Amino acid sequence: MNTFLVLLSSLLWWVLYSSIGALFVAIIAWAVLRWIERCNVVFNRAYLACLLWMLLSVIVGGAALMKQGAHADPRVLLQAFGWRAFLVLDMLVGVGLLWRLVPRVDARRIKPTSACLVVAVVMLVVFGVGTSLFG
């Protein structure tokens, strides 16, 4: 019974933290998409794409942290090949999800280059905040 409660609690915290993180990422993505597409985009779909992206990122990032150890230096981890491959794969997943799930208000899909720019801006903000907090 204890194992079930631990797994249920972990699942709830995983969804809660991912949805909070996805909200901040979705606000950035929505603003960048409005600017680059020069057209309104649907915020709910941007949030859905960012939520799925964050859910996958937290799972894969958590698995990579469990493999490497949580007490490793983040700068050393970023130089390791596994972490660089994880970041590239994470960005590709983000681009794919944004491109496939976020429509404009005229019911056309956003351009793949717009999705790439959104992911680049989100990563820039994440790395900027991360280095200012932990660097």
Residue 121 pLDDT: 96
Among 46, 14, 13, 10, CA closest to 28: 46
List C-alpha distances in Å: 57 to 43, 83, 86: 20, 12, 9
pLDDT in single tens digits along all 135 residues of the chain: 899 999 999 899 999 999 999 999 999 999 999 999 998 999 999 999 999 999 999 888 777 777 776 666 666 666 676 778 888 999 999 999 999 999 988 888 899 999 999 999 999 998 898 888 876
3-state class (DSSP) for residue 9: helix
Going by the DSSP 8-state scheme, the letter that residue 110 receives in this structure is: P
pTM of the model: 0.87
Residue 124: its pLDDT value, please? Answer: 94
CA distances from 16 to 3, 21, 25, 31, 76 (A): 20, 9, 14, 23, 29
Query: In the prediction, which pLDDT does 28 show?
Result: 96
